[in-house]
Amino acid sequence: MKNDFLIILIITAICFNGCNHSTNPEDKKETITALEKLNEVTSLVESFPNKLELLSINSSNVNDDGESLNWNYKYSAGDPGVDYRFHTDINGASFDSTSTLVLLGNKVIANIYFDSNKALKLAEANGGSDFRKTHKDFVIEATLTEPLVPNSQPMWFIRYTSETGDQRILHLGINCVTKEVGFYY
């Protein structure tokens, strides 16, 4: 009788644990889009004494659906020579560091018109999908920035790279206002 009770208890525990696991895909999600945690980054940015403005969002390993394990955000306080860096992943946002190595070439992003998932959808339809089919060892990098040129608009720059094949790099620029996709080198 004791053994029967013990067996029933073990079976019940196994069933309860096995039945208790969620099958909801959101519960198992590990990747995020570029803007998915932007509100959390914004809360951190607002805690700084200086007014910080967004210069770029970047990830060096993006999935073909526009999601990544993490995204990096670069802000400026208008101080020449200092950038503020933030990092996001599925767990949230955090301040990363300041950098005095400021790269010229981008200005404050006035408006973010669409997220990385839409940018990758456009990139995939304009050569990205073909690149991935040809190059099984591909890596996708995505950067949202606004070039430092007159009359510029925010752009998603999507770069597909591979170590094999003839064409090892595909660079696409996507205008966030017009959604026009162009090749760049």
Report the C-alpha gap between 115 and 36 in whole angstroms: 8
Report the C-alpha gap between 140 and 131 in whole angstroms: 10
**17 pLDDT exceeds 60?**
no
Task: Count Cβ atoms below 10 Å from residue 94 Cβ, excluding itself.
Answer: 13
Question: Where along the chain do its domains lie?
Answer: 38-183
Question: Quick one: pLDDT band at residue 11, thresholds 50, 70, 90?
Answer: very low
pLDDT in tens, 115-151: 999 999 999 999 999 999 999 899 999 999 988 787 7
CA angle 100, 104, 105 (to 5 degrees): 145
Quickly tell me which residue has 């607002």 as its tokens. 46
pTM of the model: 0.80
